[in-house]
């Protein structure tokens, strides 16, 4: 996959998190309550998105796959990739 695009070319539509090079980008995303966040795996490895509190959990996502979750409640939601627990991300949901 020699065409990996650098971060900075992220689409602006919606609340998006890219998964690339074993990292969530942005690692901390702030959204308003009621927002839907979409994660897209741009890596060559499968990844998941799994909330530490169990409030959301994606299936395994291959390259190019996406997972969406709507955050109805304000709070701070830490998550990991369950395959690679060293991958951490946070969604901060504001009122």
**Smallest distance from the beta carbon of 45 to Cu ion, in angstroms?**
6
Shortest-Cβ-distance residue relative to Cu ion: 81
**Smallest distance from the beta carbon of 52 to Cu ion, in angstroms?**
15
Comparison of 35 and 63: residue with beta carbon closer to Cu ion: 63
Query: Which residues contact Cu ion by CB under 5 A?
Result: 47, 81, 83-84
Compute the distance between CA of residue 91 and CA of residue 79 in angstroms, rounded to an integer.
8
Compute the distance between CA of residue 17 and CA of residue 65 in angstroms, rounded to an integer.
12
Going by C-alpha positions, the residue among 17, 10, 40 that lies closest to residue 90 is: 17
**Smallest distance from the beta carbon of 34 to Cu ion, in angstroms?**
28
Comparison of 33 and 78: residue with beta carbon closer to Cu ion: 78
Comparison of 34 and 62: residue with beta carbon closer to Cu ion: 62
CA distances from 38 to 1, 11, 17, 31, 77 (A): 22, 12, 6, 12, 14
């Amino acid at each position: 996959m020699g065409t990996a695009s650098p971060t900075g070319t992220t689409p602006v539509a919606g609340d998006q998190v890219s998964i690339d090079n074993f990292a969530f980008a942005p690692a901390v995303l702030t959204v308003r309550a009621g927002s839907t966040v979409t994660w897209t795996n741009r890596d060559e490895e499968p990844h998941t998105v799994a909330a530490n509190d169990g409030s959301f959990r994606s299936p395994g996502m291959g390259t190019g796959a996406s997972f969406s979750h709507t955050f109805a409640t304000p709070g701070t939601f830490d998550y990991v990739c369950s395959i690679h627990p060293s991958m951490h991300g946070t969604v901060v949901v504001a009122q």
